[in-house]
Chain A
Amino acid sequence: AQSVTQLGSHVSVSEGALVLLRCNYSSSVPPYLFWYVQYPNQGLQLLLKYTSAATLVKGINGFEAEFKKSETSFHLTKPSAHMSDAAEYFCAVRSIQGAQKLVFGQGTRLTINP
């Protein structure tokens, strides 16, 4: 079965610092991978997705993620954190049991310090 593991339930960085949110996946087939962001009291918004094309994927709000098959990783980065980036971030993989299903990680809460 597909699964994702997000390392670190809470990450705190200073404004202007590098943001790195870690995600490792488990999949027996080439995966489709996603990062979603959830702001307080809102639903999830798609940040970016990897669907077997370029391994470096650029998303909205300056975020990007790199698919590394050898490390089974799909870490999310942003060069310079902004206060508005404070939110919860979810990594997800498309399930092979059903192409319409997403399996989510537990989430990482990102806090930005002024």
Chain B
Amino acid sequence: DARVTQTPRHKVTEMGQEVTMRCQPILGHNTVFWYRQTMMQGLELLAYFRNRAPLDDSGMPKDRFSAEMPDATLATLKIQPSEPRDSAVYFCASGPDGTGVEKLFFGSGTQLSVL
């Protein structure tokens, strides 16, 4: 059963520390999205990639956030330095080429708490 895998599921860290979240998209999917979910803002798109190239990261705070795809099987989202306002659930989603958002599969998320 193909699924998007995110690690870690939970992360508690102190303000100022670096946080790295990982995502393994479904094999063969070449579009990858990072979303952030908070009570106040709901679901926000942070960045998305196609064929490992960033197409849009306008939703991401550039000074502390970075997103990369070192290879087709791994996407990473880093926060450095982390701040309490970064506390949220971060979701990764992947989709096959040519279908746009119509066939997105979401991971279970990384719940981040920054103290």
Which residues in chain A, 1-43, are within 8 Å of chain B measured between CB atoms? 32, 34, 36, 41-43
Would you call B101 and A42 a contact (CB within 8 A)?
no
B3 to chain A, nearest CB (A): 9
Partner of B104, one of A42, A102, A106, A107: A102
Q: Cβ of B101 and Cβ of A43 under 8 Å apart?
A: no
- How many A-B Cβ pairs are below 8 Å? 54
Interface string of B67-95 (1 = CB under 8 A from A): 00000000000000000000000010101
User: Contact: B48 with A105, CB < 8 Å?
Assistant: no
User: What does DSSP make chain B's interface, helix, strand, loop or mixed?
Assistant: strand
B interface bracket (residues with beta carbon within 8 Å of A): 20 to 34
Consensus secondary structure, chain A interface = loop
Interface band, chain A? 20 to 34
